[in-house]
Amino acid sequence: MPSHKIMLLFFFISFLYSATTQAQPSYTNSSCSPDTFAANSSFQSDLTKLLSSLASNKTANINFYNTTVHGGRNTVYGLFMCRGDVTLQLCHQCVVDATKNIRSLCNVSKEAVIWYEECMVRYSDRYFFSSVNTSPSRCGANTNNVANNQTGFINVLNTTMNKAADEAAKPGMGKNFATEEASLQFQTLYCLVQCTPDLSPQGCRTCLRDAIGDLFNCSDRKIGGRVLYPSCNVRYELFIFYNSSGKPAPPPLPAPFPATHIGKTRTIVIAVASVACAGLLFCLVYYFLRSLIRKRRRADLRQKYFGEESNTLEPLQFSLATIEAATNRFSEENCLGQGGFGQVYKGILSNGQEIAVKRLSKGSGQGAAEFKNEVLLIARLQHRNLVTLLGFCVEDQEKILIYEYVPNKSLDYFLFGLLLLNFFIIFFIEI
């Protein structure tokens, strides 16, 4: 196989691996209003247009978008917002998934919202842009409690969450998104807040204030929690759950309580597993390509020596590595004797079979044509009085014949049989 094709195969497999290991959108929660519309109504048609617009290619390069579809008697309003740290590619994929799932989860609801880890999609038959909406809401918390000094943990959490909220609500922030970190005694607290960018700074801060208040109510004394509103969301964990690249290290804050290492341990395990999988895939590709190259090289040499009959001889071809392993790299201890065209060695294959290896001398007069005729005739003229030919090897300027080892016959008998067979070969060539 040409080298450029091998490289293309390698990069293709690497691409497949990277594609399968990319982050995928993760569904979190949803809410569907009890107010419904009739199937096949104009509202359903308008809603389909709105969701298609949200997930279209024209929105693939932005992380916030709102739009309106005006029907005959109805108007449908909708928007999506992606988390401020996700890539545009993952943002678009999240919106595509969310618009599909919101239709299946909230089949005939006139108002619905769906939350993913990476994005939120919302639609309604009423105008809600630029207004603070804290209902419907969803709250979730880690099942593990803070071990000791819960008051100290809550104080640090309150300070860090409100610091992030102040940062997100600053005028001119654009994304209305912020993250903050606080160093605890043995680990780090990670906080994230975000508002929809259509809110005013005051509206954003109001929404986050209410969300933080609900957060302390629903995740009291827990080591992780979140609150989801249609207009904003907040979350904290003791492991990093967002992209913090380029963010400066936070100043340390005192926290006189021991914390668990669940978050860091999980991150380390995921990192080690990812590296191990990548290494295993690389090794598999490497050995596959190396085996493919060696097989192709042997096929090329077989074609060079035997031409059109090379395919029929493929089962008889041995690799040089196999012969070297069987004879201990042609050691003197395995040498049976010297023939007219080279030395004969005893060997043992990996399956335990004993063999006699005739290694033709590189300086002998037997060239490619004679070697070809000898292999073809021995392969065809198998006889009970002749030593059985098991195979041959042509590799790295080596020409080798592999015979069945006959322990009850003397070396002279063995070499005589070879000489006799060479006589017949010469005889047939002359004819």
Measured distance CA(425)–CA(404) in Å, rounded: 20
CA distances from 168 to 50, 71, 86, 133, 310 (A): 29, 36, 16, 17, 73
Look at residue 172 in the predicted model and tell me its pLDDT.
Answer: 75
Look at residue 391 in the predicted model and tell me its pLDDT.
Answer: 84
Query: Residue 102: is its pLDDT beyond 70?
Result: yes
Domain boundaries, the chain: 3-124, 149-260, 268-307, 318-430
Look at residue 145 in the predicted model and tell me its pLDDT.
Answer: 87
Tokens 């380029």 sit on residue:
246
DSSP-derived secondary structure letter, 314? G
Res. 91 pLDDT band, cuts 50 70 90:
very high
Look at residue 219 in the predicted model and tell me its pLDDT.
Answer: 86
Span 363-376, pLDDT tens digits: 665 555 667 777 77
Q: Does 303 or 26 have the greater pLDDT score?
A: 26
Measured distance CA(157)–CA(125) in Å, rounded: 38
Tokens 């917002």 sit on residue:
81
Same topology between domain 149-260 and domain 318-430: no
Instruction: Specify the range with the lowest mean pLDDT, choosing from 90-94, 178-182, 202-206, 364-368.
Output: 364-368
CATH class of the domain comprising 3-124: alpha beta
Measured distance CA(414)–CA(357) in Å, rounded: 12
- State the chain's mean pLDDT as an integer: 80
pLDDT mean over 87-104? 95
**Which candidate, 411, 427, 426, 245, places its Cα nearest to that of 344?**
411
Residue 335, C-beta contacts closer than 8 angstroms, at least 6 positions apart: 343, 344, 345, 346
**Which candidate, 94, 138, 139, places its Cα nearest to that of 117?**
94
> Rounded to 5 degrees, what angle do the CA atoms 215, 226, 272 make?
140
Tokens 């322990």 sit on residue:
407
Measured distance CA(239)–CA(75) in Å, rounded: 43
Res. 120 pLDDT band, cuts 50 70 90:
very high
Span 237-284, pLDDT tens digits: 999 999 876 444 444 434 344 434 444 566 677 778 888 888 888 888
**CATH number of the domain at 318-430, out of 3.40.50.720, 3.40.50.150, 2.60.40.10, 3.30.200.20?**
3.30.200.20
Measured distance CA(280)–CA(285) in Å, rounded: 9
CA dihedral 397, 398, 399, 405 (to 10 degrees): -170
Name the percent of the chain lying above pLDDT 90. 44
Please say whether the beta carbons of 206 and 169 come within 8 A. no
**Which candidate, 60, 35, 55, places its Cα nearest to that of 124?**
35
Look at residue 257 in the predicted model and tell me its pLDDT.
Answer: 41
Look at residue 368 in the predicted model and tell me its pLDDT.
Answer: 59
**Which candidate, 340, 213, 286, 339, places its Cα nearest to that of 7?**
286
Span 126-170, pLDDT tens digits: 999 999 999 999 999 988 888 777 788 889 999 999 999 999 999
Q: What is the pTM of this model?
A: 0.55
Please say whether the beta carbons of 191 and 181 come within 8 A. yes
Q: How many helices (H) and strands (E) are present in the chain, helices listed first? A: 9, 15
Q: Where are the alpha helices (DSSP H) in 106-179?
A: 150-168
Instruction: Specify the range with the lowest mean pLDDT, choosing from 143-152, 184-193, 205-214, 230-239.
Output: 143-152
Measured distance CA(204)–CA(129) in Å, rounded: 13
CB-neighbour burial class of residue 120 (10 A; exposed 0-12, middle 13-18, buried 19+): buried
**Which candidate, 143, 235, 237, 148, places its Cα nearest to that of 189?**
237
Span 292-341, pLDDT tens digits: 776 676 666 656 666 666 666 777 888 888 999 999 999 989 898 886 67
Instruction: Specify the range with the lowest mean pLDDT, choosing from 6-20, 84-98, 224-238.
Output: 6-20
Look at residue 269 in the predicted model and tell me its pLDDT.
Answer: 75
Query: Residue 411: is its pLDDT beyond 50?
Result: no
CATH number of 149-260: 3.30.430.20
Span 29-81, pLDDT tens digits: 999 999 999 988 899 999 999 999 999 999 999 999 999 998 767 899 999 99
